């Protein structure tokens, strides 16, 4: 199926530019990793819903940041979709200088002119419908913004003891939420059991940044902002608990598979590989086998700090 | 099934991207979601698949790099080339006449 056909009645009429009729004159700045992200053209109900959803992360839309405008789109442009038992994946159409996106009640465009900027067209203004539309857009935008900053958005669970963080990778069903619960029960803090940000500090050390994009667990507003990343772990469930070292290549493969959106973009794939190779070389990686009632948190905390090269 | 002989010339498909890291290779294809990890010989095969050199020439090159039984190496490389072609990572360019 050609781009957008699963979501839009007329994908050939997809907006050719970042233009349209704004929903209103409200604006919000979101203080999320890679941000701030400035959203303008909002209706009052959209702004209120974002403030309710993101709380203290919402600030006044002043100063610089990655700009997105929100525009009206007729509800009739979108196909009705029965979402029962349906796995939602945004439809992406990348080109060298832009990205078109189609999804449930949303069309979006990211473009590099040369700074990253975005536009979101949606028929939704009320909380329950608008918030997931906007959050899906923000997840995508964050992935591209972090890549621009030589970081990455990773589908993962991020857990911390406040001094170090561990990034847990695995396909859907691999046990990220189960592992997060075990860490929580052991005394750890779950940054997110869904999406986490990795950025490199000025000195080159990888740090895990909390994001408000959580699944069942995670602090949407509280918790530490950024923690040094001690290890990357590929999850495996089993009865024989323990750690097995992963080669940097195996770690890189797991990281690439866990990098949503951008790992489907051939025009940014080299940049993604470069970032994730740096991460795979900088942070030790292990496969951790854990049991549902096991001692995962203790295993993670047993991983020692790697000795710095002289 | 693609029959691979020493005369076969293969090249990496245009949508294949790979990165060598500590001997192994991480391979991505645009048209498929999976990410593959190849061992050192597999990584070398990808390097050699330039659309110019035949599989037989790869074997000669690899004989200089790797110790071990020459016949085993040739058999492994042919099998590897076949697997990578089946996986859609390599495609044949032209078949040269057998000497």
Digit-coded pLDDT (tens) for B58-88 = 999 999 888 888 899 999 999 999 999 998 8
pLDDT at A309 over 50: no
Distance of residue B38 Cα from the nearest chain A Cα, in angstroms: 9
Percent of chain B with pLDDT strictly greater than 90: 52
List, as one string, the DSSP characters of B24-46: EEEEEETTS--EEEE-HHHHHHH
Digit-coded pLDDT (tens) for B42-52 = 899 999 999 99
Q: Do A249 and B28 touch (CB under 8 A)?
A: no
Residue A271 in contact with partner chain B when CB distance is under 8 A? no
Q: What is the spatial distance between Cα A84 and Cα A241, in angstroms, rounded to a whole number?
A: 36
3-class secondary structure, B50: strand
Q: Do A252 and B26 touch (CB under 8 A)?
A: yes
- β-strand pairing of A106-112 with A116-122: antiparallel
User: Which residue stretches of chain B are H helix?
Assistant: 40-48, 55-65, 70-86
Question: What's the pLDDT at A310?
Answer: 43
Residue A259 in contact with partner chain B when CB distance is under 8 A? no
Distance of residue B37 Cα from the nearest chain A Cα, in angstroms: 6
Rg (CA), chain B: 13
Q: Which of residues 40-99 of B touch A (CB under 8 A)?
A: none
User: Which residue stretches of A61-169 are H helix?
Assistant: 127-148
Please state the rounded mean pLDDT for residues A252-273.
93
Digit-coded pLDDT (tens) for A178-222 = 999 999 999 999 998 899 999 999 888 999 998 998 777 765 555
Q: Do A273 and B19 touch (CB under 8 A)?
A: yes
Going from the C-alpha of B96 to that of each of A232, B7, B45, B55, the distances in angstroms are 47, 5, 19, 11
């Amino acid at each position: 199926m050609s781009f957008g056909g699963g979501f839009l009645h007329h994908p050939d009429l997809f907006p050719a530019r970042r233009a349209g009729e704004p929903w209103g004159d409200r604006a919000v700045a979101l203080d999320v990793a890679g941000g701030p992200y400035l959203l303008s053209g909002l209706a009052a109900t959209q702004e209120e819903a974002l403030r309710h959803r993101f709380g203290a992360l919402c600030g006044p839309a002043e100063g610089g940041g990655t700009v997105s405008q929100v525009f009206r789109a007729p509800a009739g442009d979108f196909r009705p979709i029965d979402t029962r038992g349906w796995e939602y994946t945004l439809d992406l159409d990348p080109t060298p200088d832009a990205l078109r996106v189609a999804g449930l009640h949303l069309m979006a465009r990211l473009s590099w002119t040369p700074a990253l900027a975005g536009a979101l067209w949606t028929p939704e203004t009320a909380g329950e419908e608008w918030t997931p539309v906007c959050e899906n857009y923000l997840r995508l935008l964050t992935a591209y913004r972090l890549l621009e900053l030589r970081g990455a958005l990773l589908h993962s669970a991020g857990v911390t003891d406040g001094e170090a963080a561990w990034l847990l990778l695995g396909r859907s069903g691999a046990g990220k939420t189960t592992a997060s619960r075990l860490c929580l029960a052991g005394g750890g803090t779950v940054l997110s059991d869904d999406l986490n940000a990795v950025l490199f500090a000025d000195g080159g050390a990888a740090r895990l940044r909390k994001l408000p994009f959580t699944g069942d667990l995670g602090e949407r507003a509280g918790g530490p902002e950024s923690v040094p990343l001690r290890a990357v772990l590929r999850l495996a469930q089993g009865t024989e608990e323990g750690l097995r070292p992963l080669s940097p290549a195996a770690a890189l493969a797991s990281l690439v598979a866990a990098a949503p959106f951008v790992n489907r973009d051939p025009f940014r794939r080299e940049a993604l590989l470069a970032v994730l190779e740096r991460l795979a070389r900088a942070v030790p990686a292990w496969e951790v086998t854990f049991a549902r009632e096991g001692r995962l948190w203790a295993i993670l905390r047993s991983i020692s700090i790697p000795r710095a090269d002289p | 099934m693609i029959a691979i002989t020493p005369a076969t010339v293969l090249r990496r498909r245009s949508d294949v991207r790979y990165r060598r890291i500590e001997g192994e290779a991480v391979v991505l294809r645009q048209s498929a979601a999976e990410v593959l990890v190849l061992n050192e010989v597999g990584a070398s095969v990808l390097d050699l698949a330039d659309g110019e050199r035949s599989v037989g020439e790869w074997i000669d090159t690899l004989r200089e790099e790797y110790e071990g039984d020459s016949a085993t190496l040739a058999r492994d490389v042919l099998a590897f080339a076949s697997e990578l072609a089946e996986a859609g990572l390599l495609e044949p360019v032209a078949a040269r006449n057998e000497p």
